[in-house]
Structure 1
Amino acid sequence: MSIVDVVPWMLTALCAAAAVHAVRQGVLTRSSGWRGRVDRFLHTAMALAMATMPWAWGHLLPAVPQTAFFAAGALWFPASAFGRSPASRLADLARRLPHAADMAAMAWMHLGHSIQTKGGALVTGVLTLYLLACALRSLTRDMPALRGASGTVGVSTGTPAPYEHFWHGSMALGAGIMLLMHC
């Protein structure tokens, strides 16, 4: 079995696990409000779509509705940051941009972009580099805290679940890889 045969299975397993995590968090976390539930729904839909993308049967759904859905998701993340107070709006927008890039990458992949054009190559390159940078940041974000004393991870990162960075980073990495696979 070559690496070409293993990558689709790895991406499917990662994305399926991320979908289960998103559903679990969405069901168990009621305090996140309607915005959090919409976020979880979009993450779950993206993870499920990514889990099926490496396979021929994963393209059975029409591309146009999927493109529209993920494009709307890409707009949702930055637009929903503007409902917050002006003081936290910029920080919230910055936190939501990687999720918007994930959705934009999904829309771009379902659009059937053409890498043969300069514009297509530029969009694919920019999205891929941004997603890989987001993945690297997210996957390594808690590492210094993990070397410290036990019980300090949640305090140092400000998140109730430090492993949340793993899921966001993994999905950004998976989306970046899939962008390159669709070239």
Structure 2
Amino acid sequence: MIADPLLRWVVTVLFVVAAGIFVTALASGRASGPRRVSELLHVVMAVAMAVMAWPWGLGVPNAAGMVFFLLATGWFLLRGACGSGAMCGGPIAWYHAAMMAAMAWMYAVMGALVPGQHGSGHHGGGQHGGGQHGEHAMAGEHAMAGHLGMGAMPDPAGAAAADPGWITGVNWFWTGFFAVAAVILAYRYFDGRRQHRSAAPELSADDAGVLGQAMMAAGMAIMFAVML
């Protein structure tokens, strides 16, 4: 979760509006079968990120989320590898694959599932339990608190420990990656609107899609920034 209420609402609005744009694209019926799957994956990602910003989002099973978005990464890698045909995703599919991989990484870090991370491989993806299992779940929850900008949580068992530096380095990479992507996509959106406004004053489906992706990138940059 994000501790600051204003920032939490900012990222929630970004992801909810983006999800609405992708749902609209799905409802239009113009997308092909593979593209509909891709749009649906973007909807799931936007909703998952909005949920992650809130305290009750800590109850989502991290291992399940990680596996789901790894599979989504594979889907976009396949779409990128098949070229630019009608059934393929073209070069942008590689960016979408990176988005899904970043999402899987975020779930892995939040759940202390990264090899070498304190408590990795010991707790049940955010689920609480009794005995030793419950202690490991608390360790993972403590890690989530530190990564997502929460205040320190009591840890009588001494479970809290700093993560390896390379994990922070990866988070820095994703923060910069999505910050740059947000700027590029925002430029593409406003440039597209400038070019299309004279012919079609209303927002085109392509422009709306770019706007949704820009919002997703901005939200992802913020979420990774609060993990640093």
With the length of structure 1 as denominator, give the TM-score of the two structures.
Answer: 0.81
Q: Aligned partner of 1:15: which letter?
A: F
Larger Rg belongs to: 2
CA distance in 1, matches of 2:37, 2:196: 35
CA distance in 1, matches of 2:77, 2:84: 14
SS of the equivalent of 1:161 reads helix
Tell me, yes or no, if the aligned pair for 2:185 and 2:211 is still in contact at 8 Å. Answer: yes
CA distance in 2, matches of 1:179, 1:9: 16
Q: Are 1:107 and 2:152 matched, yes or no?
A: no
| Deviation string, structure 1 residues 50-78 (Cα, Å, up to 9, x no partner) | 11111111122211010011111122212
Tell me, yes or no, if the aligned pair for 1:98 and 1:134 is still in contact at 8 Å. Answer: no
Q: How does 1:47-66 map to 2 (within 5 A)?
A: 47-66=46-65
With the length of structure 2 as denominator, give the TM-score of the two structures.
Answer: 0.66
Aligned to 1:98: 95
Aligned to 1:10: 10
Q: Are 1:150 and 2:197 matched, yes or no?
A: yes
CA distance in 2, matches of 1:177, 1:111: 18
How far the C-alpha of 1:25 sits from its partner, in A, is 1.1
Unaligned regions of 5+ residues in structure 1, if any?
A: none
Aligned to 2:22: 22
CA RMSD of aligned residues (A): 2.7
Tell me, yes or no, if the aligned pair for 1:145 and 1:152 is still in contact at 8 Å. Answer: no
Tell me, yes or no, if the aligned pair for 2:80 and 2:92 is still in contact at 8 Å. Answer: no
CA distance in 2, matches of 1:171, 1:53: 14
Q: 1:85 to 1:167 in 2, by over 3 A?
A: closer
Tell me the number of residue pairs that the alignment of Structure 1 and Structure 2 aligns: 173
Any runs of at least 4 consecutive aligned residues in structure 1 with deviations exceeding 6 A, and if so which? none
| Deviation string, structure 1 residues 151-174 (Cα, Å, up to 9, x no partner) | 3589xxxx7531321110110110
Aligned to 1:81: 80
Unaligned regions of 5+ residues in structure 2, if any?
A: 118-146, 148-162
Q: 1:163 to 1:31 in 2, by over 3 A?
A: closer
Aligned to 2:139: none
Q: How does 1:144-183 map to 2 (within 5 A)?
A: 144-147=191-194, 150-151=197-198, 160-183=205-228
| Deviation string, structure 1 residues 73-129 (Cα, Å, up to 9, x no partner) | 12221211233468xx8x91x312222222122111111265731221222122221
Q: 1:38 to 1:144 in 2, by over 3 A?
A: closer
CA distance in 2, matches of 1:133, 1:7: 19
Q: 1:152 to 1:142 in 2, by over 3 A?
A: farther
Q: Aligned partner of 1:129: which letter?
A: G
Identity %: 26
